[in-house]
Amino acid sequence: MQFGGKRALVTGASRNLGVAICERLAVGGMSVAVNYHTAQAPAEDLAARLREATGRPQLAIQGDVTDADSVRRMVEIAEDGLGGHIDVLVNNAGPYGMTPFVQMDEAEWDTVWDANVKAAYLVSRQVIPAMREAGWGRIVNLSAVSAWVRNRSIYGLAKSAIITLTEELAVEAAPEVTVNAVAPGQILESLDDLGEFSAEWAEKVTARTPAGRLVTRGELAEIVYLLTTPAFAMVTGATIPVDGGLRLPRF
C-alpha cells in the first residue's frame, strides 16, 4: 500500500528509530519532514537520501518541539517545503532518563517530560486543525513498554502519560483524525545506549522477553506505517505494545 501525495512530519528523526520511521513512510509514498533539534548533518543527509531514492520532496527542519513558537515555525516550514498541510504526524521525540525521583533534579524532570509529553501536545495541537479541515489525518505517538514498569522513574511516567494523551486526542480529533500509540519494548539496535545503566541489561531483557528476541527498528517502523493505512481506519485511541511480551507480568 502506498500513499502518493501524503505529507508526514516525524519529530526527533535524525537518528535511531526516527530514521527507520522516515525511511518507511517515504518508501510508502509520502513526502517526509525530518525534524531535528541539534543534529543537523544527519537529518539533512537522511532527507537527501530519501529525495534521491523517491524523487519526491523530503526535507530536514530544525525545531525545538518543547517550544510552541519553534513548533509553529517548524510546521509552517514543513507545509511550505512539502507543498501542503501535514497529513501524518509521528511524535517520536523522547529522551530517556531513569534517575530515582528522590535523587532527580528538576532539570532532568523537565527535559524528559517536556520532550516526551509536552512536545506531543504542542505538535499535535499545531497540525490537527488542518487535518480536520481536510477531512483526514493520522497521528502516531511513541510510548514505550516502560509505561507498564514501575522502576523507570520519569521516563515511565512520561510514556504512561503518552498513552492517556493518545486516548484524549483520539476523542477530541475524531472523526477526521485517528490518534494511536506504539509502545516498543527494548529495541535490539539500541542496546548499546543502555550500557551506562546496566552492563547485564541485554542478557536480562532478552531472557525476560517471551518471544526470545528483541524488537527491531524496522519492525517498529512497519507498525507505525501500517497505522496510517486504510487497514487501520477504525483503530483510534489504541496503544499497541510491540515488545515480544516483555511487559507481561510473570511469577
Phi-psi region of 229 (alpha: psi -120 to 50; beta: other; left: phi over 0): beta
Residue of 36, 96, 121, 155 marked active site = 155
| Active-site residue, 36 included | no
Look up residue 225 and give its three cell numbers: 506505517
- Overall size of the chain counted in residues: 251
Q: How far apart are CA 79 and CA 192, in angstroms?
A: 36
- Which amino acids are annotated catalytic? 155
